[in-house]
Structure 1
Amino acid sequence: MKILTLDIRDPADAMADFTHAWKTGRPRETARVSFSSPELLWRVLTAKRWKLLKVLCGAGPVSIREAARRAGRDVKAVHGDITALLNAGILDRTDAGQIVFPYEAVKVEFVLHAA
């Protein structure tokens, strides 16, 4: 099963993964999108965007209109959410202009430390 891991990491740690991939020619074994803080993760991944990811999991390439239909939402609002998810690197766009979430599941990892 292809899983996308979302996590909270220091930019230096995320850059270490990039450096490893660059030097070895192969990425780490899991797909990962990192955020610098929990606040940023929750700002990008709103409840409506989570629902959108849920309907796109394993769906293959779809149009924005089809994604909106599956989510039961307005096309214009879904377009804005898809743009945010594309900018965050969570969704991909195909050569034909469709959007795709090429994973079957999402895993979120972070540790909450005392202030």
Structure 2
Amino acid sequence: KWGWSEEEIQSAFRRQPYCMMLSEKNIMKTMDYLVNKMGYDPSLIAKQPGVLLFNLEKRIIPRCSVVQVLIANGLVKKDYKVGSLMYKCEQDFIKKFVIKYQEKVPHIWNAYQQMGR
């Protein structure tokens, strides 16, 4: 459904074999959000398949929501790599994306907390 070639599928599973443990439903929900809501190219996700392992509601949506707010305010570029957002530990993500911009976007902390924290 996401247009991955056979080579991309094999590469994704070689890079992150634990993806094979995920349910099809879980993969589909995460891909739907990242591709249709966030606008990421499915091929990019095939190159960073580890992002599929993160919890959609507790990690992916809150972090992507913060980045959407920052993009809307012209504070970060639209083409931010999804892996860069997900692989950061919680403390580093909060420092880099929430605290850093809290003065310019005062509601960013509340938005982050409400979206799954």
TM-score, structure 2 normalization: 0.26
More strand by share: 1
Structure with greater contact order relative to length (CA < 8 Å, sep ≥ 6): 1
More helix by share: 2
